[in-house]
Amino acid sequence: MGALTSAGADEIAFLSNPKYRQELQRTRAAAVIVPPEFAGDTALPRIVHQNVYAYYARVVALLNPPAYRAPGAHPSAVLHSKVPASASVGENVVIGRDAVIGENVTLYPGCVIGNGVSIGDDSLLYANVTIYDNCMVGRRAIVQAGAVIGSDGFGFAKEADCWVKIPQIGRVIIGDDVEIGANTSIDRGALDDTVIGDGVKLDNQIQIAHNVVIGDHTAMAGCVGIAGSTTIGKRCTVGGAGMIVGHIEIADDVHISGGTLVSKSVRKPGQYTSVYPFAPHAEWLQGAAQLKHLARLAERVSELENKLAQMEKKS
């Protein structure tokens, strides 16, 4: 596979963005994947599909299968639980007591699987993933390197000038077909569980706090932060660096733009944005200064409207 501009005579390219339509005439690819409306724009062998990007994803997966690791446990692995013969356990992996490892699970070097953890069939954990005690991961999960599942939530009670740690005794429950990005952290629940639904896709360096619930097939880009006890619905998306405060609810099919701060519950589906427009610094300062006067300006406009209404009545 290759991009339209760089694909060679032994590669397949694709067009999903009309912006690059002209590249169809110049590409050196052997074949292309195109939507129906562009099928006549090229004489190359072509696959015509309504959802080009999804079709491309499947072709790439077919032509580039994950690296194969032979079943069995490396001699350096420390196993306190039985592992099925179909599983692949890499160098220096540690599996705690009473853990349940499914069929065809692959654990890359350095993974640490706590006591009582459950990992479903066909799941793949890359190097140095840590799963704390009693957490559950569903089938066909992909967990990228360095992710941490089940670390303590940020729970402290103020006592005079000090903070008293609140033990975090819940779990993390992860559904089937979930992907978790590199260095993403998912905190265990304080009392109830943190729950990640089926088909959820999480990018790199995301922070999910204790007792968060994320609905099925929701996707989040890198550096999103979600504070504790927030519930997010199904089929939602959150753009990169989106921030969501705690103890709120977000409905199904809500789409949060990148960099947005969500400070209250969202009850209706749709697109939501709170990013201040990017501008040269001097313009930004001028706009910020004007914002301070908006409340007074609104009051003056209201006063003028009232006076105008009174004058119209008298006339």
Give CA 214 to chain center in angstroms: 10
Q: Is there a shared CATH topology between the 12-63 domain and the 72-272 domain?
A: no
CA distances from 291 to 214, 244, 285, 305 (A): 35, 24, 10, 21
How many whole angstroms separate alpha carbon 248 and alpha carbon 60?
A: 38
pTM: 0.89
How many whole angstroms separate alpha carbon 25 and alpha carbon 35?
A: 15
Rg (CA), the chain: 26
Catalytic residues: 210
8 A C-beta contact, residue 106 and residue 121: no
Question: What are 269's two structure tokens?
Answer: 């589906």
8 A C-beta contact, residue 298 and residue 279: no
Q: Is 72-272 in CATH node 3.40.1160.10?
A: no
Backbone angles phi, psi at 191, to 5 degrees: -120, -65
Question: DSSP assignment, residue 252?
Answer: T
Domain coordinates of the chain in residue numbers? 12-63, 72-272, 281-314
How many whole angstroms separate alpha carbon 10 and alpha carbon 129?
A: 37
285: exposed, middle or buried (Cβ count in 10 Å: 0-12, 13-18, 19+):
exposed
pLDDT digits (tens, 9 = 90+) for 91-108: 999 999 999 999 999 999
8 A C-beta contact, residue 273 and residue 257: yes
Q: Domain 12-63 carries which CATH code?
A: 3.40.1390.10
CA distances from 309 to 51, 76, 297 (A): 56, 84, 18
pLDDT tens digits in sequence order for the chain, 315 residues long: 888 999 999 999 999 888 888 889 899 999 999 999 999 999 999 999 999 999 999 999 998 888 889 999 999 999 999 999 999 999 999 999 999 999 999 999 999 999 999 999 999 999 999 999 999 999 999 999 999 999 999 999 999 999 999 999 999 999 999 999 999 999 999 999 999 999 999 999 999 999 999 999 999 999 999 999 999 999 999 999 999 999 999 999 999 999 999 999 999 999 999 987 788 999 989 988 888 888 889 999 999 999 898 888 887
